[in-house]
Structure 1
Amino acid sequence: MKDELFLRGEKVPMTKEPIRALALSRLALHRATHFIDIGAGTGSVSIEAALLNPSLAITAVERNPAALRLLEDNRLRFDCPNITILEGVAPVSIPRLADAVFIGGSGGNLTQLIDWSLAQLHPGGRLVMTFILQENLSAALTHLAACRVRALDCQQLQVSTLTALGTGHYFKPNNPVFVISCEKETSDARHN
């Protein structure tokens, strides 16, 4: 989905289209029944997931009041009744385990969020995170090395967009983004 389709706010973050495409691919939502989006922002990941998977139950967690308003406006704009918006700071109580969790913002509690996210997943469930800060990347990779995960993968994406400049064009660069994905180990994974 094009980023321009979403209602936006000045200080509300949004996972951009190329990053969102990779994150959604890594989440493997086509076989999921419940998905949790942490730090949902404008709701771009939740909404695209909902439109691609109409039977998927989605819990979008957000703490910022401005983001909550945009998230609700976008949910209504795209008619996504399968998204439940949960106001709060993760970790929060979610009564149902998920098949996939996306962390788009950590609010400074990254390792706690990783542990909580893994506890929210069924065995074999997918965890995907995006970062722009190298310190968060390093902290996440170090922490995940001590967790019961498999299929750990990390990619850095640098996307540039063709932009008019005077009578010509150039490729305007966006910030590089790190995308980490992994699966929660199944209970018998250590016995194989």
Structure 2
Amino acid sequence: MRDEEFIRGPVPMTKREVRLVALERLELTQASLFIDVGAGTGSVAIEAAYRYPHLRVAALERNPDALALIRQNCQRFDLTRVEIIAGEAPLPMTERADALFIGGSGGNLAEIIHWAGSLLLPGGRLVINLILLENLNQALQCLALGGFSEVDCIQMQIATLTGLGSGHYFKPNNPAFIISCRKENTNDSAL
């Protein structure tokens, strides 16, 4: 899905190239339930639902403007399988997930990572997108202490060819950090 296909507004959106890497690292092929935390425009949740018809998808968002955009984008792509949850993570959930994506944390990153650890099934995938170095450091520290394995992190810097006068240049997007990891196989069963 191209970024231009999404209805935008004043809400952050995970850009296409970063979104594709995040979705690949979530390993959704065999997943049953995927949760997108801080869903923004819904681009990650919507593309996951579009690519994996068997997948149940929940988009969690606290911003009323973003919630409206998620609804509009679900309608635009004719996706009725995305459950839109208005609220702020961490919040009680009745079901454990196979994969969880953190695209926004609202300043509660450590709490959300801890919550993700209790919400994910053993072996479940967690992917976190960040742009701030401070959040990257905090996330890596939380993951080291929080029962996650296979922690990997990459930085992506994407630039797109853009016209300028009679010529062209590569217009850069903000660099993004993508952390991916797996919930360790433990014997915990509580949410």
* CA positional deviation for 1:30: 0.7
Structure 2 residue aligned with 1:52 = 51
- Distance, in Å, in 1 between the alignment partners of 2:26 and 2:148 is 14
Equivalence for 1:174:
173
What corresponds to 2:6 in structure 1? Answer: 6
Secondary structure, counterpart of 2:29 in structure 1? helix
1:76: how far off?
A: 1.2
State how 1:132-143 maps to structure 2 within 5 Å. Answer: 132-143=131-142
CA distance in 2: counterparts of 1:132 and 1:149, whole angstroms: 21
Secondary structure of 2:99 counterpart:
strand
- Report the counterpart of residue 23 of structure 2 in structure 1: 24
What does the per-residue CA deviation read over 1:84-126, in whole Å, with 9 as the maximum and x for residues that have no partner?
0000111112211000000000100110000001111000000
Higher mean displacement: 86-95 or 106-115: 86-95
Say which SS state the counterpart of residue 54 (structure 1) adopts. Answer: coil
Q: Deviations over 1:43-87 (max 9, x none)?
A: 000000000011211111001011000000111111112110000
SS at match of 2:19: helix
CA distance in 1, matches of 2:6, 2:41: 8
Q: Once the two structures are aligned, what percentage of the paired residues are identical?
A: 56
CA distance in 2, matches of 1:70, 1:186: 36
SS in 2 for 1:30: coil
Tell me the TM-score normalised to structure 1 length: 0.96
Q: Is the 8 A contact 1:6 1:74 kept in 2?
A: yes
Aligned positions of 1:1-192 closer than 5 A: 1-9=1-9, 11-187=10-186
Q: Counterpart amino acid of 1:17?
A: R
**Aligned mates of 1:142, 1:91 — CA distance in 2:** 19
Aligned residues: 187
C-alpha displacement of 1:148: 1.1
Alpha-carbon distance in structure 2 between the residues aligned to 1:119 and 1:79:
32
- Where 2:153 maps in the other structure, the secondary structure is strand
What is the identity, as a one-letter code, of the residue corresponding to 2:25? R
Runs of 4+ in 1 over 2 A off after TM superposition: none
TM-score (normalised: structure 2):
0.96
Gaps of 5+ in 1: none
Q: 1-side partners of 2:141 and 2:147: how far apart? A: 13
Aligned CA-pair RMSD: 0.8
Shift of 1:187: 2.0
1:136 shift after superposition: 0.2
Whole-Å Cα distance in 1 between the matches of residues 123 and 146 of structure 2?
13
Whether the 8 Å contact between 1:55 and 1:82 is mirrored in structure 2 is no
